[in-house]
Chain A
Amino acid sequence: MTAVTAAQAGLLACHACGLVHRAGHAAHDLDCARCGASLHFRKPDSIARSWALLVAAYVLIIPANLLPVMETGSLFGSEVDTIMSGVIFLWTSGSWPLAVIVFIASIAVPFSKLGALTYLLVSVQRRSTWAPKERTRLYRVLERVGRWSMIDIYVAAILTALVQFGGLMSIKAGPGAIAFGTVVVLTMFAAESFDPRLIWDTTEGKNGR
């Protein structure tokens, strides 16, 4: 069957109330005739927004991995841990499963997320027509998995709240935790800003902006 998208038909639906409109002459700066919400064929400035957020995430992932995420102070002196040093500590102390989990959640996932988003954006911009279905699946996985990479932040937050014994022992979240949390949030926003329909627009040979 011949696929006809809403954009090709010059139709667009209101995201707020669902009313379908005809686009008319102007393709931009449209409002819903019923509820007044802004209308667009594709997410506006999707690529630019995604890029912006992605660049910010790229910048912040450096301090997130270099700065300590957790500062442990105890009678025996204080200790600071970056994400990687925590993984190494877990690995050398024999907790391999935990090390693997933390590594995947805190290092592998954020980095692969950045990489995947970058690939999606580049491929869309280059109007690649290769494997649109797989790319769409990749996007879905990205969106779903994103929130789970906050494990380190959760651990730091919980420990900070629980382990406060004054001079005996106390745990503080380090500056790396803030950067890391920001990276996760930024990638989530970036993934959300990305419009997967753009993947398919190229296959139609039409710019769906």
Chain B
Amino acid sequence: MADRHAPELPDLPEAVSAPKPRWAPQLIWIIPIVAVLAGAWLAAKAILERGPTITISFQTGDGLEAGKTRIKYRDVEIGLVKEIALAPDRKRVVATAELAKDAADSLVEDTRFWAVRPRITASGVSGLGTLLSGPYIAIDPGRKKEARRDFVALDVPPVVTHEDPGRGFVLRADTLGSHDVGVPVYFRRLAVGEVVSRELDRDGQGVSIKIFVRAPYDQYVTANTRFWNASGIDVTLGADGLQVQTESLVSILIGGIAFQALPDAGASPAADANHVFNLFQTREAAMKRPDLAIEHFVLIFKQSVRGLSVGAPVEFRGVNIGEVVRIGAEFDPKSFNFVQPVEVHLYPDRLRARSATGGAALPAPTTPEARLKRAQLFVDKGFRGQLRTGNLLTGQSYIGVDFFPDAPKAKLDPSRLPLEVPTVPSQFEELEASVASIVKKLDKVQYEQIGADVRKVLATLDQTLRSTDVLVKRLDAETTPELNRALDEARKALKTADGALAAESPLQTDLRDALREITRAAASIRVLADYLDRQPQSLLFGKPAEEPK
């Protein structure tokens, strides 16, 4: 064993031959085959699941990070931003993102993207979760069919997504008011939609406000629906007094739009999407019955029209039948005087509509002649205009019309249009006149004569008082001592009487003694009477001698 050289170890055992299956060594190749298969499967999966790559252009890259910023739909991750670069013109940031394969259908013409960041608006706080995680990109899949791969992100989240059921409408207004995007739309004080966008008309003559009304409330928007401005607090200080209108606390803060159908318009089919409506400034204006017939008149006032404003009501016995449309001042060279013509619109329909409920309706005049004739009839009956004070506190005025049978006759001048309705002085003017006449009368009073008379009376009174004083003094000096004396006497007499009646007085003692004697006498008489009762004969025979016992 010391020598390891093989030839010197002849008695080594021979290995046993044990044939083995020839395929066994080839089994090792299963491992790379499995590896290749697994690798191929992974690769195929990666390629097959690879979704579309899109570019989204942003105004700012704030918080966006390549490889980290996700694209989410309904808070489910559907993609990842792979690369962020500046656009060639350096005006925007272009993010290249890879989306999940099944999101490919959503990438169409009107698909919208926007970055979700924390936002604080008057209507709420959103995206707080992104404070820590950084912004993500939200997607609103569109409805169109044309595929698209490059998008421009919205700067602010859309108010309404394509999935929201409902309909959009367009409101036209003169001014925007406080209708920012996202401002609520109210229906019977229920928030049912939002302002989606607003834009100035191309000609700059108005503003178009796009709103979205969510289903099922969109069915209440009909052709008869009126929209009005429910922005904040609507404080109206008119002849009617102070009016405060508001829809909700939120609308006070951020404004709002409200709508409602005209109250007596009856049922009408729902309006089409994107139907154009007018936006009224106030609910009152919106709910005003559409005045079809307008009659134009002018009232000429010789007094100040202070407190009267364009839009002030024209009332007939408290019923609003028109409004002031123009106030002016005219110089009349003939009388060298200024007059204030006030043009008004009267809506005879308002009267007619009311009369239709009960009384006979006035036939509507169709021709100018008929109009003139009827107007002359009214004026003949005393139809006059009058400037009235609606609110003493604010000095707001309105035009009152009524029949004044005592008013001087007036003739309408058909050559001058608009027709002039004669006026009568206002109540305040009348009041002024009465006060003036009172003052005039007061002026006539002879104050000096009255003063002299009063002085005379006073002197007489003085004299009377003085004689009374003398009389009183005399009474004091003469009568009073006499009275005192009489009283003294009376007091003395009373004292004597008092002494006589005292308990220990001699009179009392005498009286008591006398009474005792009488008692005793009475007792004796009773003894005698008893005796006589028993021995009546003793009356005749005298009292027998005492019998000895």
Contact = CB atoms under 8 A, between A and B. Distances in A.
Interface in A1-34: 4, 6, 9-12, 19-24, 26, 29-34
A186 B20 CA distance: 26
A59 B42 CA distance: 11
B15 A31 contact: yes
A31 B16 contact: yes
Given A44-B25, A79-B68, A11 B42 contact: no
B348 interface: no
Given A21-B14, A52-B31, A45 B68 contact: no
Contacts, number: 102
Given A56-B35, A59-B39, A60-B35, A30 B29 contact: no
Interface residues of A, number: 43
Contacts of B29: 48, 52
B358 interface: no
Given A53-B31, A63-B39, A77 B134 contact: yes
B123 interface: no
B249 interface: no
Interface string B106-132: 000000000000000000000000001
B21 to A, nearest CB: 10
A45 B14 CA distance: 23
Contacts of B38: 59-60, 63
Interface string A50-63: 00110111011011
B35 A55 contact: yes
B12 interface: yes
Nearest to B18: A31
A24 B15 contact: yes
A77 B26 CA distance: 48
A22 B18 CA distance: 15
Contacts of B12: 11, 20-22
Given A52-B32, A59-B32, A59-B35, A76 B17 contact: no
B133 interface: yes
B16 A30 contact: yes
A55 B32 contact: yes
A67 B133 CA distance: 24
B28 A53 contact: yes
B132 to A, nearest CB: 5
A177 interface: no
Contact of A75 (B26, B28, B43, B133): B133
Given A44-B25, A55-B32, A76 B18 contact: no
A49 interface: yes
Contact of A29 (B19, B34, B43, B70): B19
Interface string A70-92: 00000111010000000000000
B15 A21 contact: yes
Contact of B13 (A34, A36, A57, A77): A34
Contact of B32 (A22, A38, A56, A75): A56
A56 B40 CA distance: 12
Nearest to A53: B31
A105 interface: no
Contact of A33 (B15, B32, B132): B15
Contact of A60 (B15, B16, B39): B39
Nearest to A21: B15
B13 A29 contact: no
B48 to A, nearest CB: 15
B450 interface: no
Interface in B496-542: none
B28 A33 contact: no
Interface in B337-390: none
Given A55-B35, A79-B68, A22 B13 contact: yes
Given A33-B14, A76-B134, A53 B39 contact: no
B6 interface: yes
B253 interface: no
Most chain A CB inside 10 Å of its own CB: which residue of B14, B16, B42, B133: B16
Given A11-B6, A38-B18, A53-B31, A77 B68 contact: yes
A39 interface: yes
A2 to B, nearest CB: 12
A23 B13 CA distance: 9
B36 interface: yes
Contacts of B68: 77, 79
A20 B15 CA distance: 9
Contacts of B26: 48
Contact of B15 (A12, A56, A79, A182): A12
Contacts of A76: 132-134
Contact of A56 (B14, B19, B34): B34
A56 B31 contact: yes
A38 B9 CA distance: 22
A9 B133 contact: no
A9 B35 contact: no
Interface string A117-137: 000000000000000000000
B98 to A, nearest CB: 14
A6 to B, nearest CB: 8
Nearest to A85: B67
A45 B28 contact: yes
Contacts of B15: 12, 21-24, 26, 30-33, 39
B16 A48 contact: no
A29 B17 contact: yes
Contacts of B25: 44-45, 48-49
Interface in B1-55: 6-7, 9, 12-20, 25-26, 28-29, 31-32, 34-36, 38-39, 42-43
A161 B134 CA distance: 28
B133 A48 contact: no
A33 B12 CA distance: 10
Contacts of A23: 14-15
Given A52-B29, A60-B38, A67-B42, A33 B16 contact: yes
Contacts of A63: 38-39, 42-43
A67 B29 CA distance: 25
A57 B25 CA distance: 19
Contacts of B13: 19, 21-22, 33-34
A33 B18 CA distance: 11
B75 to A, nearest CB: 12
7 contacts: A24-B14, A33-B16, A49-B25, A53-B28, A63-B42, A79-B68, A175-B42
Give the 4 A-B CB pairs with smallest separation, nearest first.
A56-B35, A30-B15, A55-B32, A9-B6
Interface of B: 6-7, 9, 12-20, 25-26, 28-29, 31-32, 34-36, 38-39, 42-43, 68, 70, 132-134
Given A6-B6, A9-B6, A22-B12, 4 more contacts: A22-B14, A59-B35, A59-B36, A60-B35
